Amino acid sequence: MAVGSVLFGAERSSVYLDIMQKSVEAYSPERIRDYIDRVDRDGITEHGYARLTANLGILISQGRMVGNKGLFEEMMDICVRELPIARQKNQGRGEIGNDFAVKEIVCCIMEVEKVGTFPEEKTVAWRRALESMRAEDIYSVQPAPGDPTARNWCVFGAASECARIMAGIGGKKEYSDRYLADQLRFFDENGMYRDPHSPMVYDLVTRLQYMAALDFGYDGPAREAIEEQLLKSAGITLQMQSVTGEIPYGGRSNQFLHNEAFYAAVCEYYASWMKQRGDMDSARLFKAAAVRATESLAYWLDQSPVHHVKNRYPVESGYGCEIYAYFDKYMVTTASWAYLAWRFADDSIEPSNRRMRRSTFVTSDDFHRVMMNAGGYTVQFDWNAQPEYDSPGIGRLQRDGAPPTLALASPCPSVLKPNYRIDVGNDGPLAIAPCWDEYKIVEAKKGKVVMTDGKGSSWVCRLGQRGLSMKLKGEGEMVMTLPVLVFDGEKERTPRMEDNVLSVRDDGWVCQYKSNVGIIDSGKEYGSRNGHLRRYEVRGKDCLKLRIFMFHE
């Protein structure tokens, strides 16, 4: 089964079932059995198990993986036994999973009921086990309205209560009203949701929870304000996507396969919503963005074995992952977001065949990003990077059709001990960037971005069909760093220098770096989520010029 094989069939949305199945099948029978035994013994301590259960059940309801009906029933029996008491059993833990997983179990019960997958007495028993749960007793994060520490978990819990109300499995409208309204204060002027440090993942995934709440039928006092924020951020959502179909890099929980699954879900919601509003042009653009996201997923899901993070290190190594972002939890999260995409999708909307629009989008200072698409390339800047995750400068350079990590998919963290696991010690920042202490935007328009260090030096970046052209001007010695991925956990790449041209090859593609002053190998390697990157430098006086372009051999 190839992901994307039915993208242009009669039921295009079935690609999301393909993604769900690939994600669930990434768990070996031995891993699933071990997972079951641990949860049966220790109870629910995080949301991966419930998500695995829910997605397996949904797939079975759609005629897939039906040989696992007995296994699913065992897993669901444990879920409905443990979810109501998870918070009580694990009072010392900050995370128990209910905030995230209750709605998924509820949706699963609804899907298996629709097609009569299990006897009615069984599904009724599952319902009864969950319907008496009180929101105040089951969710981890319940701050008082206005509490400055409240963040995205509240929206997840509120969406779960909306799902319960929709399904008739309990639920408390006042709970959803409270937190869906309260969390609106964290949206910025562009309709982007600001979690601590404003990571890109939690803007998109929190907007998705609001969308899910609306799709589940939420029609409370916050509905109009929610739709206002979602409409405000609609157009920029398209500009955020890279030409390879990915969400913007940076911050926590990034560079995981589930990122593009939730982006596809967001775009499917927007596509259906725009159609309802009579804006078919926008609907088709969002549908095309969803297709690109699924194709991006296909690149990783078609590899064997499947990894949940965008590298090829052994899964158990945790390389590139935060402590919470281990395989058991985050692999199946891909399936969970694919389910929402499947639920939202309207197959009557034909994806636009237009190429990605030439655009430049500058976020608010909270997100400190510039995203530029032109000539089949994407460039993304961060002018105030969170050092535990990223480095300032250009952290992404990609070309349509080329492997996403050929040039740069994400930068290196700037600190020796970042917030995710790597196996080398970074002694400073590494991105495509001048060696500056500060970055300020002077100009940002289609195809051109100009930055300054505030001390007289300027960095002019132009993007087009000939790739990325840069000019660095100032007084005295100028230095620009170039990260080049040389090891992804499995495969080594050997950069080659010839006539002052640095070339890197991967999967039939070439990335070339050309400078007016030559390129120097520093001999240092740094770690990023994607693997090991060699630091190259361009050094000269007063003016440096560099062009980076990619082509298929």
Domain span at residue 103 reads 14-344
What is the CATH number for 134? 1.50.10
First vs last Cα of the chain: how many Å apart?
29
Output the pTM of the full model.
0.96
Same domain, 375 and 265: no
Closest by CA position to 97, among listed 420, 318, 260, 328: 328
Q: Do the domain assignments include residue 350?
A: no
Same domain, 130 and 206: yes
Domain end among 344, 359, 380: 344
The pLDDT value recorded for residue 95 is 64
Residue 92 has pLDDT above 70, yes or no: no
Q: Report the domain count for the chain.
A: 2
Q: Do the domain assignments include residue 349?
A: no
SS3 147: coil
Residue 161 has pLDDT above 80, yes or no: yes
Q: Do the domain assignments include residue 352?
A: no
Q: Do the domain assignments include residue 362?
A: no
Closest by CA position to 104, among listed 42, 149, 151, 167: 167
The confidence band for 357, taking pLDDT boundaries of 50, 70 and 90, is: confident
The confidence band for 8, taking pLDDT boundaries of 50, 70 and 90, is: very low
The pLDDT value recorded for residue 72 is 98
The pLDDT value recorded for residue 94 is 53
Same domain, 382 and 317: no
Same domain, 295 and 379: no
Residue 304 has pLDDT above 60, yes or no: yes
Which positions ≥6 away from 424 have C-beta within 8 Å? 525, 526, 527, 532
The pLDDT value recorded for residue 7 is 39
The pLDDT value recorded for residue 175 is 96
Same domain, 235 and 128: yes
Q: Do the domain assignments include residue 355?
A: no
The pLDDT value recorded for residue 10 is 45
Q: Do the domain assignments include residue 532?
A: yes
Residue 168 has pLDDT above 80, yes or no: yes
Q: Do the domain assignments include residue 176?
A: yes
The confidence band for 356, taking pLDDT boundaries of 50, 70 and 90, is: confident
| Percentage of the residues of the chain whose pLDDT score is greater than 70 | 97
Q: Each residue of 307-354: pLDDT tens digit?
A: 999 999 999 999 999 999 999 999 999 999 999 999 999 999 999 997
Other Cβ atoms less than 10 A from the Cβ of 200: the count is 25
The confidence band for 2, taking pLDDT boundaries of 50, 70 and 90, is: very low
Same domain, 493 and 525: yes
Same domain, 185 and 310: yes
196 phi/psi in degrees, rounded to 5: -50, 130
The pLDDT value recorded for residue 87 is 87
Mean local confidence (pLDDT), 273-298: 97
Mean local confidence (pLDDT), 530-536: 98
Place of tokens 């157009």: 235
What is the CATH number for 479? 2.70.98.10
The pLDDT value recorded for residue 499 is 83
Same domain, 301 and 449: no
10 Å CB burial of residue 319 (0-12, 13-18, 19+) is: buried
Place of tokens 């009724």: 124
Q: Do the domain assignments include residue 4?
A: no
Q: Angle of helix 98-114 relative to helix 153-167, nearest 10 degrees?
A: 30
Same domain, 322 and 401: no
Cβ proximity of 498 and 518 under 8 Å: no
- Cα angle, residue 35 at apex, residues 112 and 304 outer, rounded to 5°: 85
Same domain, 315 and 438: no
Same domain, 393 and 305: no
CA distances in angstroms from 388 to 415, 481, 484, listed in the order given: 6, 19, 20
Same domain, 419 and 330: no
